[in-house]
């Protein structure tokens, strides 16, 4: 380095490089903190969230690995928290929900699906743009990658999954660059065979026995290729949400809504929670996707008014079936 002396501020450069390395290096995981974060966003799926926090601590503690940090398969009814858990995990591990790459496999069913993921081969138009999967991972390998509805993907995409989950690397067509997935978490979700899986869920009270039942079923019924199942670290089967859990989620969502108006909610009359749940049940018997809209319809107006009157904390009571807001 002697002949380069004076060319730059070496101390400053060293500091900057160290900072960059520290930012990209895998940090040890604080299992308790991770669990608390996941629990704060995902309700009613405790066995899954607990197992996941533990698995990640164990994986992060490894010195080196030649496969992704975790390959997870998430099953269970719609609107039970699969995507929510993926987002919460991306936020906790990589500092930002946006570290999540999401692919809808129903859009990866044609013959060009491979080109979309790993780029066009050399000589084809667009080959310099790279793939929708490889390019973001080449620029930042610390990612959570979510593939939704994998049963709809083309078999050529499954071949890519096998490589990605088995070797932790994929070569971009065109550029020949190798994307490294060893710092990524891979999540596959599927709604396939939901009815049978639901029956197995209903017939077990113990979570682990139920998961074993589901795994046996997936293997026997050849729902996925055996090689895929062989590369999955965990199969998580999400539970349908009970009324109490939906109530908890409603309160969580209400507090998020209030926060967006700069307000904190100190109290909500139980009758109002019950009404939101009943309205939700009317429109979406099998999910809670409408809940957010229903809460908005019920509470956004009083929240905005309270905000305009300079409140910081509010409580919601009920009079003649209507929402009454009070400064707390
Ligand atoms: N267990 C849960 N805890 C907290 N919020 C939840 C839970 N389940 C669902 N939600 C809320 O409901 C919405 C839909 O949930 P999510 O997107 O996670 O469903 P999903 O299980 O991925 O369903 P799908 O199989 O249709 O993709 C999210 O906005 C989320 O906030
Ligand atoms: Mg989802």
pLDDT for the residue 323:
87
CATH of 243-327 among 1.10.3720.10, 3.30.465.10, 1.10.8.60, 3.40.30.10: 1.10.8.60
Average pLDDT rounded to a whole number, residues 195-213 = 90
Phi, psi of 106 (to 5 degrees): -70, -20
Residue 41 has pLDDT above 80, yes or no: yes
Q: Please list, in sequence order, all residues whose beta carbon lies within 8 angstroms of the beta carbon of residue 199, skipping any fewer than 6 positions away.
A: none
Pocket test for ligand 1, best of 38, 80, 151 (most atoms within 8 A of CB): 80
Give the residues across from 267 on adjacent strands. 315
Average pLDDT rounded to a whole number, residues 51-55 = 96
| Other C-beta atoms lying within 10 Å of the C-beta of residue 162 | 15
Q: How far is CA 52 from its chain centroid?
A: 12
Q: Is the CB of 77 under 6 A from ligand 1?
A: no
Q: Is the CB of 81 under 6 A from ligand 1?
A: yes
Of all atoms in ligand 1, which is nearest to the CA of residue 42?
Answer: 3
| Other C-beta atoms lying within 10 Å of the C-beta of residue 102 | 14
Distance CA 54, CA 51 (A): 5
Average pLDDT rounded to a whole number, residues 185-194 = 92
The superfamily in CATH containing domain 28-237 is P-loop containing nucleotide triphosphate hydrolases (3.40.50.300)
Of all atoms in ligand 1, which is nearest to the CA of residue 189?
Answer: 25
Average pLDDT rounded to a whole number, residues 49-68 = 91
**Structural domain spans, the chain:** 28-237, 243-327
Residue 2 has pLDDT above 90, yes or no: no
Rounded distance from Cα 310 to ligand 2 centre (Å) = 38
Q: Is the CB of 79 under 6 A from ligand 1?
A: yes
Tens digit of each residue's pLDDT (9 = 90 or more) over 178-189: 999 999 999 999
- Two tokens at 220? 């026997």
Q: How far is CA 242 from CA 44, 45, 76, in A?
A: 8, 11, 14
| Other C-beta atoms lying within 10 Å of the C-beta of residue 96 | 10
Rounded distance from Cα 320 to ligand 2 centre (Å) = 38
Greater pLDDT, 16 or 159:
159
Distance CA 157, CA 112 (A): 10
Average pLDDT rounded to a whole number, residues 203-224 = 89
Residue 217 has pLDDT above 90, yes or no: yes
Distance CA 288, CA 306 (A): 27
Identify the residue whose C-alpha is closest to ligand 1 atom 24: 78
Of all atoms in ligand 1, which is nearest to the CA of residue 288?
Answer: 12
- Two tokens at 319? 């009079």
Residue 241 has pLDDT above 70, yes or no: yes
Residue 59 has pLDDT above 60, yes or no: yes
Q: Is the CB of 131 under 6 A from ligand 1?
A: no
Looking at the chain, the whole-number percentage of residues with pLDDT higher than 70 is 95
Taking the CA atoms of residue 173, residue 144, residue 159 and residue 82 in that order, the dihedral angle to the nearest 10 degrees is -150
Distance CA 197, CA 236 (A): 12
Rounded distance from Cα 274 to ligand 2 centre (Å) = 26
pLDDT for the residue 23:
56
Rounded distance from Cα 319 to ligand 1 centre (Å) = 32
Residue 63 has pLDDT above 80, yes or no: no
Rounded distance from Cα 84 to ligand 2 centre (Å) = 7
Looking at the chain, the whole-number percentage of residues with pLDDT higher than 90 is 62
- Two tokens at 307? 């905000």
pLDDT range class, residue 285, cuts 50, 70, 90: low
Q: What are the start-end ranges of the E strands in 163-263?
A: 169-171, 178-180, 185-190, 234-237
Give me the helix-helix angle, 46-60 and 82-94, nearest 10°: 30
Q: Is the CB of 191 under 6 A from ligand 1?
A: yes
Rounded distance from Cα 247 to ligand 1 centre (Å) = 14
Tens digit of each residue's pLDDT (9 = 90 or more) over 5-28: 778 888 888 877 777 665 555 567
Q: Is the CB of 84 under 6 A from ligand 1?
A: yes
Average pLDDT rounded to a whole number, residues 169-179 = 94
Give the residues across from 234 on adjacent strands. 72
């Amino acid at each position: 380095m002697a002949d380069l002396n004076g060319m730059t501020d070496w101390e400053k450069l060293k500091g900057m490089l160290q900072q960059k390395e520290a930012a990209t290096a895998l940090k040890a995981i604080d299992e308790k903190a991770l669990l608390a974060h996941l629990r704060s966003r995902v309700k009613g799926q405790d066995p899954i969230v607990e197992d996941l926090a533990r698995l990640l601590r164990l994986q992060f503690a490894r010195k080196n690995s030649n496969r992704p940090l975790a390959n997870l398969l998430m099953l269970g009814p719609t609107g039970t928290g699969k995507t929510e858990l993926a987002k919460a995990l991306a936020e906790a591990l990589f500092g930002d929900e946006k570290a999540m790459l999401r692919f809808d496999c129903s859009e990866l069913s044609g013959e060009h699906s491979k080109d979309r993921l790993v780029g066009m081969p050399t000589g084809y138009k667009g080959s310099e743009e790279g793939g929708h999967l490889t390019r973001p991972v080449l620029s930042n390998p610390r990612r959570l990658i979510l593939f939704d509805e994998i049963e709809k993907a083309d078999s050529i995409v499954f071949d890519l999954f096998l490589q990605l989950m088995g070797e932790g690397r994929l070569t971009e067509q065109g550029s020949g660059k190798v994307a490294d997935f060893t710092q990524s978490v891979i999540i596959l979700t599927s709604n396939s065979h939901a009815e049978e899986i639901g029956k197995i869920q209903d017939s077990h009270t113990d979570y682990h026995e139920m998961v074993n039942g589901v795994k046996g079923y997936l293997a026997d019924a050849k729902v996925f290729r055996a090689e895929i199942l062989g590369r999955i670290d965990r199969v998580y089967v999400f539970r349908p949400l009970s009324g109490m859990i939906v109530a908890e989620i409603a309160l969580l969502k209400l507090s998020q809504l209030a926060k967006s108006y700069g307000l904190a909610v100190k109290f909500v009359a139980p009758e109002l929670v019950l009404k939101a749940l009943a309205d939700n049940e009317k429109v979406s018997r099998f999910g809670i996707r409408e809940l957010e809209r229903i809460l908005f319809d019920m509470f956004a107006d009083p929240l905005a008014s309270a905000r305009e009157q300079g409140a910081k904390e509010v409580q919601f009571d009920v009079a003649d079936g209507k929402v009454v807001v009070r400064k707390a």
